[in-house]
Amino acid sequence: MFTGIVETIGIVTGIEKEGTNVHFTIQTDLAKESYIDQSISHNGVCLTVVSIEDDSYVVTAIQETLKLTNLGLWQLGDSINIERAMTADKRMDGHFVQGHVDGTVKCLSVSDANGSWNYRFTLPEGKKNLIISKGSVTLNGISLTVVDPDDQSFGVSIIPYTYEHTTMKDILADSIINIEYDMIAKHIVKNIELYMDVYLTKK
């Protein structure tokens, strides 16, 4: 479980394909504090550390992960947001993030708001019930607050600290971004759908 508060930025220094899997080497100052079999969020994707050497570690993405996320677009030298799993002895500053990405969205626009930055992203069909104004959403592993959603898109606003200490500064119009919808919202929508199925069946 994660919080969507990015700890540091890592660099992709190795990409190796093996069958349908891809092994990524990530250079980060957290490597020396990491351990084999540790779960770490990479742009919002929970991946397991399989080996460590000096200031880098290796994680493996399987075919299903590559299909649902933007990991297949990673290139050598790309910067990625990194967060280790939350612990029970600290404040939770973001929201509950599983690291189980639901899919990707495309950035429609980026605008400088003279002290902050406004981003707008596509909203996939059938997902509008999971996005509410002032609700939480995770984009590339960052816990953010939804602004001005409509049926086709939604916005987020970024403060200077988040802009400088995450990969948000690298996102441009047409960038493909990992999205994880709020876990609580997904449970509520799912249970309402199940209730309605039962109710309509009984009628």
Q: What is the pLDDT of residues 38-70, one digit of tens each?
A: 999 999 999 999 999 999 999 999 999 999 999
pTM of the model as a whole = 0.89
69 and 110 in a single domain? The answer is no
Residue 199 structure tokens: 């109710």
Number of Cβ within a 10 Å radius of residue 9 = 15
Quick: pLDDT tens for 123-152: 999 899 999 999 999 999 999 999 999 999
Amino acid identity at 80: I
Q: What's the CATH code of the domain at 60?
A: 2.40.30.20
The CA distance from 105 to 107, in Å, is: 7
Asked whether 119 and 158 are in contact (CB, 8 A), the reply is yes
- Note down the domain range covering 172: 103-190
Question: Taking the CB of residue 73, how many other CB atoms lie within 10 A of it?
Answer: 11
How many domains does the structure of the chain reveal? 2
Is 196 part of a structural domain of the chain?
A: no
Spatial neighbors of 102 by CB under 8 A, at least 6 apart, are 68, 127, 179, 180, 181
